[in-house]
A and B are shown apart, each in its own frame.
Chain A
Amino acid sequence: MTRPALIAMVLAVAAAAVLPFLLGSYDLNLIARFMALGILALGLVLLWGETGILSLGQGVYFGLGGYALAMHLKLSGLGPGEIPDFMVWSGVKTLPWWWQPFENPAVALIGVVAIPGLVAGLFAWMVFHRRVGGTYFALITQALALAFATLLISQQATTGGFNGLTEFPTLFGIDLNTLGAIRGLYWITLAALVGAALLLALLRASRFGTLLRAVRDGENRMRFLGYDPTPYKVAAFTVAAMLAGLSGALFTLHAGVVSPALVGVVPSIEMVIWVAIGGRHSLVGAIVAALLVNLARDRISSALPELWLYALGALFIVVVTLMPRGLAGIGQDLMARLMRKGAAQ
């Protein structure tokens, strides 16, 4: 990384850190939500940009993280022996066994990344070790997203169904609706985002990162050189899923709800477009695009919901056909042109 770019990035993080003193709680909450989504986008850069694996089912891991935390939040507000209100309405008498561990805050917090990681690792290994990949893999991940969302909706009595889990005012006894809590969560999210970006930058620069690019550019050559690509692909998928889980948990805290509408086929594929727009090889691009696209979505879809679907569809087509390197690619081209002009003078 060049020195000016580094300085620009430090300044950007510093600016983001003082934002809570400039914005009202609504806007701050919105930005924090989108920053949480940026964490998921970072995972996709590792998976898609570096390793060349397209997942159309990241919503599953986002949802697993979100639900793991939301289940704890639901339970923490209850007295002993009580069960969540929506279960009572559905005639459920006792807490299902798979809800019980989440009463423990440590289990829930670890679960936020561990559950998506385990599910993703197992799933990816089952598919990749038989050398099924590429388009097939993308289609299977999409089927998984569909199955997950349908299952959540249909098991209404224990998952909250279509409405999902909502109304959790406190986290570890702290009221989430105060300005202080919103600011605190914003800083936590910012720290998680910056931490995730640094982690991925390190991973990319390491030998592991080189091997991921080898998987992308010549999986068979890699085999000929004596490497088994499967563990690297599984690892990339697992890391991306764990980031998605963290993203889902943070998003749930900011939005105050997690529901099947956030985890199914359509939201899952929308997550890919953030990274496509930002530039699939660019960590910074992914964060910027996740913020921009979601801000645009927020503005456009509240005013003209129909227009948003047309715009989103057109974005997919235009970005993929005309600007496969995304915003980051445009930025790099501009920089290169400026440099050449500078050198010529």
Chain B
Amino acid sequence: MDGVVLALGQGFNGLSVASLYLLAALGLALSFGLMRVINMAHGELLMLGGYIAYLVMKAVPGTAGLLLALPAAFAGSALLGAAIEATLIRRLAARPLDTLLATWGLSLILQQAARNIFGPIGVEVRAPAWMNTAVAVGPLSFATTRILILALSVVLLAGLALLLTRTRIGLLVRAVNQDRMMAAAVGVDVRRVDMVMFALGSGVAGLAGVALGLLGPVTPTVGQSYIVPAFLVVVMGGLGSITGSTVAAIILGVFTAMVQIFVDVSVAQVLMLLLVIAFIQVRPQGVLAPRTRALDA
């Protein structure tokens, strides 16, 4: 019985971790699908979201502060993301590996800047008092914050799905995703699609940063601790697929939480990597890959 309770509790923790991985990975997956590049400074967009949440909620405490912090963090990170896309990524678009290195350099600079502005020690985001509670279900108790973050990621995912399937920009995104050259040939402004989606993905990272701030202190390296799992989600998800990334995030999040019943966090991290390597033995194309005859998908 205790074992079942423990497993259920860890299952919930796993879903909660998965929601954070997913929020961190969505932006990466979106722009990887479009441009085949990974922004290594994506973790610092999370960090920025966290610091914006800290500043906003220091100025406006309580629930109102949280409601203000979400759009502010989204806007701040989206703006920074758009700037990164316009200055760095566009320039290197045809050299995906060089993009990794250049954006890594940017990530170092942003981390050091945060260290200089906010100090090397973390700052605490003051969450509204009602969030520091837990919902008890029988012998289990679920932290309100984590339930809210799960809800946030579900809402975001639904919104993104609607955007991609029901709107004009979504149509253009899917077109560029399928065949960039053909889309450009029939008159889609592919550069603008890139830019809009990159900014959108960065904004989502900003929201993820708010979520991280609600769970623990915001530090200059807060993004780094989530970004490597987020990269693995993208690898496992399959060519920028949103559904694939969601499934991958849930697999990795729940797996990590479950193995932590038996081993410590660091071993769980190693096992997670081994899981990904084992996974690509079976499905190298990722959880979900579009059917294509292209040689270099």
Interface residues of A (CB under 8 A from B): 48, 52, 54, 56, 123, 126-127, 130-132, 134-136, 138-140, 142-144, 146-147, 150-151, 153-155, 220, 265, 269, 272-273, 276, 306, 309-310, 312-317, 320-321, 324
Contact = CB atoms under 8 A, between A and B. Distances in A.
B109 A313 contact: yes
Interface in B250-297: 264-267, 269-270, 273, 276-277, 280-281, 284, 295-296
A310 B113 CA distance: 8
Contacts of B296: 220
A150 B270 CA distance: 9
A312 B235 contact: no
B143 interface: no
A140 B277 contact: yes
10 contacts: A54-B97, A134-B96, A140-B232, A147-B273, A150-B265, A269-B101, A269-B104, A272-B101, A276-B101, A313-B106
Nearest to A126: B277
Contact of B266 (A48, A154, A273): A154
Q: Dominant SS at the B interface?
A: helix
A238 B191 CA distance: 39
Given A130-B280, A134-B97, A142 B108 contact: no
Interface string B177-209: 000000000000000000000000000000000
A306 B269 CA distance: 30
Interface size class of B (residues with CB under 8 A): 35 or more
Contacts of A48: 97
Contact of A317 (B38, B88, B95, B96): B88
B269 A139 contact: no
B269 A132 contact: no
A101 to B, nearest CB: 22
Contacts of B115: 306
A127 B109 CA distance: 32
B92 interface: yes
B105 A320 contact: yes
Lowest 4 A-B CB distances belong to which pairs?
Answer: A316-B105, A313-B108, A154-B266, A313-B109
Contacts of B280: 126-127, 130, 132
A324 B98 CA distance: 9
Contacts of A309: 108-109, 111-112
Given A147-B269, A150-B269, A135 B276 contact: no
A155 B100 CA distance: 31
A176 B48 CA distance: 48
Contacts of B107: 313
B267 A313 contact: no
B36 to A, nearest CB: 7
A328 to B, nearest CB: 16
Contacts of B37: 135
A52 B38 CA distance: 17
Contact of A273 (B101, B264, B269): B101
A134 B116 CA distance: 35
B102 interface: yes
Interface string B78-95: 000000000010011001
| Most-contacted residue by chain A among B108, B273, B296 (CB, 10 A) | B108
B235 A138 contact: no
B231 interface: yes
Contact of A312 (B88, B95, B108): B108
A143 B276 contact: yes
